[in-house]
Amino acid sequence: MKTFSIKRAINTKVVVLDTLIRESLTLLEFETADYPVKIYFDPIGEHIKVLVDKIYIQQVILNMTSLILQSMKAANTTLPRLMFEIELNGNTAVNISITHNGPSLSEMNAEGNEELSLIAISQTVIAAHGGKIEINKLDDSNSHFTFSLPLAAP
């Protein structure tokens, strides 16, 4: 897969993860206006702080969620849903997962490579933050993608 460059320097700041995800969900309202998808987000209950470039991470969330929505629409997914979850990964990182009941992104038909480009760009951004993206099919009706981010120093 082609390696993509980041257009501007990463400007990391300490950000509260719950706030970052909530703001990203607000930005998704446009994407979901014409497609009735149920979105769940259950904050972890702690004010987890991450050291990230907020704009780049929001773009990753929007890119990956947009791809999921496209695949769900194309598959005519019944009662489409997305679930955002946060899980601490030791003392240095946090995992953010988006579980959905549509086709796995790894099974998606990437005609024109636009979808593969968005995945590659997202992988580049997350790698630049010291994390990685995993795309998995959980079972016949659920798939997810997970990415990790570094925790901010206490």
Residue type at 154 in one-letter notation: P
Residue pLDDT, tens place only, 25-39: 998 888 788 888 999
How far is 118 from 105, CA to CA, in rounded Å?
11
CATH topology for 13-150 is: Heat Shock Protein 90 (3.30.565)
- Distance, in Å, from the CA atom of 5 to the CA atom of 52, rounded to the nearest integer, reads 17
* pLDDT score, position 115: 67
Residue 25 tokens, joined: 């969900």
Mean pLDDT by 10 residues, the chain (154 residues): 58 92 89 86 82 92 88 88 91 91 67 68 90 76 84 86
Contact 129, 150 (CB under 8 A): yes
Q: Three-state DSSP class for 6?
A: coil
Helix (H, G, I), strand (E, B) or coil at 139: strand
